[in-house]
Structure 1
């Protein structure tokens, strides 16, 4: 034990001498004196520490117990080595970290995809994998996984095989080798690595399972689902529980060494497997046993459940324990070990006891209801505070502060208001369900119709989506974006309250035969123009640029006048003014996802342009973005749409009812604009501002009578020739020769019509 450690102990003795012997939970010390004990929300107890001289130095000054408190996107991030730390327990001698999911992916032809993830081994000598809290898992239909490490200084390896022929073979919740394999982990396993491999490069299962996965995970955090065959590639790390010990010697030897760490009122406990020891507070004491005076006496008398004294006894606390002494007029019967009445006082006190008892009963009856409702109200307040923090209230405040916004800009609804509005979330009020939760129809007390979005229960990853949507919507003020009225964080899951859009989704109107016949070309062009204008506003005119990241027909709502409202910003991202792209986990909806974004993970505004191009193709053809009911060559609408234009087959794929009501030249112009949006390279696509301007021009032309078309065309030609910046879209729709149409990107009159949508 070094000189500095001795000084710290002497200082700590001085501090403890001023503290009461009986301490409450909140008084228990965690870190060494004058040392930080938190990194963000995570408590860092000694022997772990954040700075020099605040953690336990290992052999030769090694830093096994050092926690590095980094900062990611303004949020503190505690790490030990390369691994994120989520919990530390000195009572159980365990630490929870986020370990790598080894992902083994292939292309359709069986060629391995390059693995950009670095395989990180857990080599810290103080850690062993908890065999009681974790499982080793392999997921995939063509996958075998290795678990490698050392046990008793000898090499150890285990393999887990998971196979299946089709997705229908897989049973949710079952991990017995069909799509998922799960095995126990032996005691004392150290220095581990995991590795996923394929039997046949996933060639025969690629359509539903292009990747295999190998990982260790905390057992109570994993319940297998067939969806994991695809979605686990998005989970780069998973929670794992590790056991940790002090030194490499058992208690008998460690107690006689100068660097023995167990403090006062604590006991040394040998590691159940392998070397090392850990410390535990004695019965009747609580706190951090690794500090000299960390284990402090608890007052068992303050909480009835902590002692077994009867009604005829009074509890008297003492160091490490308590005594039950008989109350006045009672004495202890030694043979029976119970308190019995004193003989002399028994008869004379009977009348008094009866009178006091009756009076007490009356007081209890009168005060019971007041006490009951008071406690219930207090419990409800604490529960609401718990839900507020659980639902990201602190994170919301922090991010609002980072963006210099105020939570008062939206209304904070109470639980009672929203229960009444939705008839206690009655199933008859459900409007729809999606990846981020359930949407209910509600009626507020002032008869305002609202849509109330309820996040998924128990899915902590959805809290980030909820807070993100809240932050994004506070940045938006546009008539074609669904309006946020407020939120509620007091419930078990968070709620967002929006304006109610009466006419359903654009997807319903396109793909429902009874509704699509009512969706005229004029309405379709209006919807496309308004949606483009809203996206252009998000990209170019919001206080901070916003990328929606999930543009699709189900996220475009319509009111009774067929006015478009862009919705669902759970996946959206704010773009700092000094950046043009963001590196993110790929997220979105298949069929609408930008191919360039899928390959590079670099999110740009042009990713929304691609998705909007798919929406335009749906409006023109009436087909779904992705359908396995169509022939393989036509399953992806974006690919088949572009091919049809290049092969002079546009008229064959257009919706019949719009071909008959509008001039084909205008349909060709819109089709070629959609083709430009669907360019494989983002730099070849127009901006949303340019797309919105061109659609506004086409819409104005469509509104003009035949007699005014030539006049307007001349005015438009004059406006287009006066611009300083333009973009070209190749027109290849079956004409005898391709032509190039130059679209004005910033023409004052057309752009003014777009920006008037704010």
Structure 2
């Protein structure tokens, strides 16, 4: 990347300091240069007619638009008839032809028109000529008027305009200095590009002034005098004076047309065009805005002069040894400047690159340190040093790794959003799929540190596994194993015939969640109260096994403590009423929340739902009411009723009712819940196995009867030595 930037700078410097000579060639110094084709007249009056322009014979000009007509006008003070060149295509007088710049000077008419009128100007459409935007400008002369230059079509689209106003009379009569037209008595504006045809008009402008609007306006396109290449002569000296004087007596002003050789010009019109070392030709775009290349032009190379449009028309200029030495010295000087500047710039860029890298590295280091402190890094270190967290298998991820894994935390990678943050799906460089949780810290990192410390100590097959974390960002990140089948809440509500939630699956999931909570309450190094057990926080892996997740609200308590007083936190519909009123968190709070999940598995209903005319009602309250009124099977899920034994369903329902006791002391422990669910599951499995065994025995009896009949039939008519018993056939069937 650095070398690429250095290379680009070198190119830029060489463009600024070219190694070629900067001395421009002297035009038309060679008196023996070729101007026109052989046998063609190169002069008309004082104007030199360079090919591709020409007169008289069609072979003397490139095409019809380049034809020059030499007329004799009475335009001298003595009345002499002087030859004057005209561009026959538009019948305007030619003042000069420049083949190096590709321009031709003409006398453009001044238009006199009244207020509110429109007049059509010179039409160059279809020709190789356009009004030069660089050399010309549009001028309006008059008082309280707007001069408008518009397109030459039916719509008359305005291309450019200017406004001129008068507030007092001119002291010098009608003399106007065009070079200082700034809106007072006259106005001036630039031309649009590719102007080949136009209309001009005026409109009256209302202004508070003693001078009324004039209806005799003078609108014209004229060339800047400093750029005009007209050779002075005594008969046309007025064109060098910037003061136009009385425009009523003047018919035209100088203007500049640009030209090119159209691409569609037949090749036989330029038989001389062959590549040699004396001239350059290139494509141009002078007359058309629709194409990138509309024609081409040529010019003599440095050291040559003449007409590049004629074979061998560019002649070498013998400028003398001293001038050649000066050119060579100039080239050497610019070469030294260019090379020195390039090397100096490269060195400067390398130094700046190193400084930039050094500064950015320090800024990034301080930024990471800031985020580390902000995201609880100091608190985490304290937990680690005190032995509260176990990080033997926890990996510290970099922001770069997780940013790449989640495709810059793309919204399409969002797995879910909750009160603590947003979870994204990601793929690490080793191909492992992970879940990345971005916390909503808002200045409080306790939930993040709490979940990190708790999960770092848990190692259970039914608890989501923490893989690592990242503290380099403004918002801390935790990385978990990816659980592909969503959560229990969504699966219960979105089940279908293709993948139903069977009674066996429900019983197994309930047993797995109960076992995980029993582990947290009793078997972990320190008792852990989850505090937010709900179906949304129970994830299902690839084999639809339960994984308890979201430990941001969890709390660790000492073994001796019976309860923990905290700010009430949980989810409506799952929250323990006793905890809600006393703020005393115990293991029985998780038992209550698990009882609600157990009811969800039995009924397939939401924890908060609309029940007939009663409006919103918690599922737990409605379940207990149905149990009291002996209407349990009215709310049990139809699939559960179809697949489960009524005795087992009643046992599970009674267990759920015990978990939902308002008095926490009357609720069973998670150990008791786990053992009871496991016994129900074992009994269910035994019943299923017994049914399968009975089906197999029934099928075996039918096979035995068939083969016994077959054996009796086949032994009839045989001798006693050749008889085969049924007992001898059975081992073969078993094999």
TM-score (norm 1): 0.45
Bigger-Rg structure (1/2)? 2
TM-score (norm 2): 0.46
Larger relative contact order, structure 1 or 2 (CA cutoff 8 Å, min sep 6): 2
